[in-house]
Amino acid sequence: MNAFEPLLCVSHLVKRYEGAAGSPALTILDDVSLSVERGESVAIVGPSGSGKSTLLNLIGTLDAPTAGEILLDGRRIDLLAPAQSAALRCNRLGFIFQMHHLMPQCSALENVLIPTLAPGAPGRGGAAAQRARDLLGQVGLGARLHHKPGQLSGGECQRVAVVRALINEPDVILADEPTGSLDAASAEEVWSILSRLGRERDAALIVVTHSTSLAATMDRTLELRAGRLEDRAGRRPAQGAAR
């Protein structure tokens, strides 16, 4: 990578689904470009079905684009073999979904430590456990370390999910409606924790939300509509110049 390269560069991305049983193909993303710098926060908004989760899944290497490129630190990540993309997801990306997807039989602390057990994870053992305890303390769960998800509130589970996404110090945090299942007060709390922890770590934060008020707290808000990504002024953010 060079100093002028953005951390994440999405370039002319297309995602098309072939139609089933003779129905026409669906183009969900149509020439989407976006670049995100370290420490930057971006909200993605748009109507239901506009392709927000599809875009996040492509950036997160959970799905493959029909055309276009995705670069992290100047390297293609859309072409990685499954084992490489699994390692990338574990070590450089952090995911948070609408439903927390915590392991029900594991405590808050154990859930947070799961990503540290993956091959190539930056740290494990005592140091990781200490980091997990510190982070859970920072999100107000210091007294809930050994509670299982069933013994935690929805907002508390989502705070555990945020800590789990951050435990391996990812460069990019991808959050798909992370507060969508919470009441307004818990949503605001989880959102501010996510923004603060992301900023402190200089991570790029890309968050899908339906909430315009939460989106307004991010550095930029982009809207997906009819397969195109636009900023609030209706301009298309070109890669490398997506300000």
Question: How far is the C-alpha of 44 from the C-alpha of 123, rounded, in Å?
Answer: 32
Structure tokens at 237: 């953010």
52 sits near ligand ATP (criterion: CB under 6 A):
yes
Q: Rounded to an integer, what is the distance from CA 70 to the centroid of its chain?
A: 15
54 binds, among ligand ATP, Mg ion, none (CB under 5 to 8 A by kind): ligand ATP
**CB of 53 or CB of 179, closer to Mg ion:** 53
Chain CA centroid to CA 170, Å: 10
Q: Which is nearer to ligand ATP, 26 or 106 (CB)?
A: 26
Cα(127)–Cα(226) distance, rounded to whole angstroms? 47
Which of ligand ATP, Mg ion, none does 2 bind, CB closer than 5 to 8 A by kind?
none
Binding residues vs Mg ion (CB under 5 A): 53
Least distance in Å: CB of 53 to Mg ion? 3
Q: Minimum CB separation from ligand ATP for residue 35, in Å? A: 21
| Residue 225 β-bridge partners | 228
- Does 54 bind ligand ATP (CB under 6 A)? Our answer is yes
In angstroms, rounded to a whole number, what is the distance separating the alpha carbons of residues 168 and 166?
6
> Which residues lie near ligand ATP (CB under 6 A)?
17, 26, 28, 46, 48-54
